[in-house]
A and B are shown apart, each in its own frame.
Chain A
Amino acid sequence: MEGKVILSSSDGQVFEVDMKVAMISQTLSNMLKDTEDTGSETAPIKLANVSSRIFNLIIEYGKYHVEAQKSDTSEPTADLKKRVRELVADDKDTLFQLMIAANFLHIQSLLDLSYQIVAEDIAACKDQQMIRQKYNIENDYSPEEEEEVLKLHNIFE
């Protein structure tokens, strides 16, 4: 499919997006195919769950993704992952919002890369306390229980 598709974000900003870029979203792709089948006029699609800030990032990712498919880079995944890291600029809340949007729009590749990025960030923490701080997770273990799970952990040391 060629051409542009008009989308609007939750806060009302209107985006004109390349059809190729929009098609990386399974949700949009299904919708656009339906529209094509019925031959009806392409109406602007409102993305009720995606803010303009996040949608901008999604479009950027979409462009990279389309580019990566065309060119034959040796490490397409690693390269794309680096791009996503740059897009979210090491801000975990942005990353999480991007994940919500990717989930909503069914962009599996973006979701997979995001999971990998979170995993890398977790693995980079030096202990469980650092993970809790980074992700605001409450320690709901009693002191005794924590000792117990740490003992389990320590069989790896």
Chain B
Amino acid sequence: MSSVSQKQIVGFDRSGMKKRFGDVVNNVDALHEIFSHLDADALAMASCVSRQWYEAAMDDNMWEEICTKHWPSSTGISMTQLRYVVNVMGGFRRLYAKCLHPLLRRPSSSSSYAFKEDGVVWSEDQVQLSLCLFSVDYYKRLGSCNTLERFLVHSVELHESKI
């Protein structure tokens, strides 16, 4: 067998992973993969670990995934439209923190962090209400004198986009 030349496979960079992957938890690509399996609470906790983790955990795509994962398929809102509006108003992380989380607060008895649950679907009303609260939050921050008027216009727009 020794006469047969040996084939060697060396190097691994094709999937964009760094060679020093040995530090999985210091590798940006690996962190993104890992964090995509975390629920909001665990992701928020992860952002407090180090600067690098913070960078990775604040990626708004991750929060978009968390926000929309449990939405019913029939919200009737186009994702492109929604993404645009949410980004203008502060991003999905903010949407979650300000408006979805308070609606979904777990019973105080279960204080531990949970692994992202699959299969839970929120009601359409919850989604609508959270989006309305988000616009209120946004206009409050704008602090303009026409706040209420703008809010109403916006609510109507949101509602129309739903129909």
Contact = CB atoms under 8 A, between A and B. Distances in A.
Interface of A: 6, 8, 27, 31, 41, 43-49, 96-97, 99-100, 103-104, 106, 111-112, 115-116, 118-120, 122-128, 131-132, 135, 137-141, 146, 149-150, 152-153, 155-156
Contact of A131 (B17, B26, B45): B45
The interface centre, meaning the residue of B23, B35, B44, B47 with most chain A CB atoms within 10 A of its CB, is B44
A8 B45 contact: no
Contact of B40 (A47, A96, A156): A156
A152 B35 contact: no
B49 A131 contact: yes
Nearest to B7: A45
Interface of B: 1, 4-12, 14-15, 17, 21-26, 30, 33-42, 44-51, 53-54, 97-98, 101, 112-115
Contact of B1 (A44, A128, A141): A44
B2 to A, nearest CB: 10
B115 A123 contact: yes
Given A49-B12, A128-B45, A137-B26, A43 B35 contact: no
Contacts of B42: 119, 122-123
B34 A115 contact: yes
A103 B21 contact: yes
The interface centre, meaning the residue of B9, B34, B42, B114 with most chain A CB atoms within 10 A of its CB, is B9
A116 B37 CA distance: 6
Contacts of B53: 137
Q: Which 4 A-B pairs have the closest CB atoms?
A: A119-B37, A104-B12, A128-B48, A123-B42
